[in-house]
A and B are shown apart, each in its own frame.
Chain A
Amino acid sequence: MKERLREVLERFKVNFSAYIIDINEFRGQTFVILGDGSPIRDIVGFLKTEGFNHLQTLTAVDYLQKSGVPRFEVVYQFYSIDQGISLRLRLQVSEDKPEVESIVDLFPSANFFEREVYDLFGIRFMGHPNLKRILLPQNWEGHPLRKDYPLMPEDKPRDFLELVELKERLGGYGIR
């Protein structure tokens, strides 16, 4: 199992050496850190041909104020059901241009995951068929899982204020 993973990583290094920042292991889980602007669609396509057929999860992390790295990291966790090996990709994404290539055409299960990351982090996935908010209402402002999202809002939500306004206006006509 470990040998097979090493083989895949060797080929990975040959093909995409320019984008790899680090390959490391923590608690027996191997991860690859990829630099900003990596061709993630090609890399995931390569992994798919190597037999990684199950996308376990796709998410993002906001490393606000971590020194010397881009702000966001998009995390892909892959598993090969036949070979029993797993690999995690951590793609760095800069704050100025939070854009990543979508992998929905390779892994249809990424559809909702990518929408969730867009919703909660504001990272756009280019080429996604239906990129819009999923967990929050469509008119929500801001991206809550960003670390600089205010925990205590200064104003009431706009919906609430509109309702109060509507109530006052109707009250003028004697409608309660």
Chain B
Amino acid sequence: MSEKSLTTKEYIYTTEDPFFSPLTIQMGPQHPSTHGVLKLNLVLEGEKIIDLEPEIGFLHRGLEKLAESMNYAQVLPLTDRLDYISAMNNNTGYALVVERLLGIEPPPRGKYLRTMVCELARIASHLLWLATHALDIGAMTVFLYCFREREKILDFFEMICGARLTVSYPRIGGVRVDVEEKVLEEIYNFIPYMYEKIEEYEGLLSQNRIWLDRTVGVGVISAEEAIAYGLTGPSLRGSGVAYDIRKHFPYDAYPELDFEVPVGKNGDTYDRYWCRLQEMRQSLRIIKQCIEKMPDGPVCAEVSPDLDMQVFKRAFRAEAWGEKTFIAFLNEGVELVPKGELYSAVEGAKGELGFYLVSDGSGRPYRLHIRAPSYVHISALPKLSRGHMVADLVAIIGTLDIVMGECDR
């Protein structure tokens, strides 16, 4: 008996063991706890996961290919559809990479507004994460409470730019429209209210016996392993690594603001939960400073390109290769925008959201690659969940905070 328990601890597939009978089942893509169209091929022994293979791509829309035939300003609304829960962060990330390429500096008010809406979007995203994560584990009340506050933030977005989810509010060189003082005042009054509500969630969960049983020691990953597997954002900070793009590659108004990066210790589901709750408090702190320090002036740089930006017509030739296909050639002639390639990242709500942009001098991106945090996090799923129960898998998917729109692009 003792020998057998030793061998099963290493979770090695072996056909020599006569009692070993793995069961292969498929979880998803319609499972409610997979947060979108994620399919997992599980290999189980009893209720224990011994192997897992994620299958993704059900939501693939070819954003990267689509971007190659649009000009720089037209690509921005596409980025809303990546992580549709915190669209502000995606817009900012894309706007930043184009600004760095074109050498545009947004005016201070534009920067502060962008930082403020990004942090609001981060809170909204973390609220949705907490709601669904708690619902997966079995705490129904938190779900309803979180949606109540998220609704208020979406109302702010509606007041700021008229849209609630796919906002396209940040744009290349600043933000699209200015914000009224009245709205800023309302957001300012929202801050103490939200602090209270975070206390309320903590009161419901942090000491809750069931919550502790389901999260402490589940999905543990050490700091080195978390870095090696490419975890970023709160998922990495739960393991104790203070890697935050806002501190390491400062952008917008973040270098002028005072905030901390909360880090966990044990790298389990509970620490990641704790990190995200602390992050919401830090976000509120940033929003407060943004509104207090908000400078006056224009919100968008004058030189920023608009939808009618000049575009060099790339050689689209149909019969060039004897096929009836359209081929986009590399532009090696006129230079409307600087030529070059650069990588720029922002701290999205899920983790490091990077954009790799290659410019060939025409007005369109020659290649736009999006480094989606959810995509990398899903690749770490087998590592995190091997050896756990199927019921814990739901908690592990929840703790990674994945969005399939971003993962499949």
* A27 sits at the interface (CB 8 A): yes
* B57 sits at the interface (CB 8 A): yes
**What residues on A are CB-neighbors of B383 within 8 Å?**
108
| A53 CB to nearest B CB, Å | 5
Closest to B64 in A: A145
Q: Which of A57, A133, A147 meets B356, CB within 8 Å? A: A57
| A34 CB to nearest B CB, Å | 15
Which residues of chain A in 25-68 are interfacial with respect to chain B, using CB atoms and an 8 Å cutoff? 26-27, 29, 31, 53-57, 59, 61-67
Q: B367 near A61 (CB under 8 angstroms)?
A: yes
Known: A107-B228, A108-B230, A145-B64. A29 touches B321 (CB 8 A): no
Q: B378 near A112 (CB under 8 angstroms)?
A: yes
Contact with B along A63-90 (1 / 0, CB 8 A): 1111100000001010101001000100
* A135 sits at the interface (CB 8 A): yes
* B304 sits at the interface (CB 8 A): no
In Å, the complex CA distance between A79 and B328 comes to: 32
**How many residue pairs at the A-B interface have CB separations less than 8 Å?**
115
Binds A, one of B21-29, B188-196, B338-346: B338-346
Closest to A147 in B: B328
Interface size in chain B (residues, C-beta < 8 A): 49
Q: A65 near B330 (CB under 8 angstroms)?
A: yes
Interface size in chain A (residues, C-beta < 8 A): 46
Q: B369 near A151 (CB under 8 angstroms)?
A: no
**What residues on B are CB-neighbors of A88 within 8 Å?**
343
Q: A55 near B100 (CB under 8 angstroms)?
A: no
In Å, the complex CA distance between A147 and B321 comes to: 12
* A150 sits at the interface (CB 8 A): yes
| A79 CB to nearest B CB, Å | 8
Which residues of chain B in 367-389 are interfacial with respect to chain A, using CB atoms and an 8 Å cutoff? 367, 369, 371, 375-376, 378-380, 383
Q: Which of A64, A109, A130, A136 meets B228, CB within 8 Å? A: A109
* B197 sits at the interface (CB 8 A): no
Closest to B339 in A: A26
Contact with A along B43-67 (1 / 0, CB 8 A): 0000000000100110010101100
In Å, the complex CA distance between A137 and B58 comes to: 9
Q: B329 near A65 (CB under 8 angstroms)?
A: yes
**What residues on A are CB-neighbors of B324 within 8 Å?**
150, 152, 154
Closest to B59 in A: A135
Task: List 4 extra interface pairs beyond A133-B57, A145-B367, CB under 8 A.
Answer: A79-B248, A108-B229, A135-B57, A150-B323
Residues in chain A within 8 A of chain B (CB atoms): 26-27, 29, 31, 53-57, 59, 61-67, 75, 77, 79, 81, 84, 88, 107-109, 111-113, 116, 120, 130, 133-137, 144-145, 147-152, 154
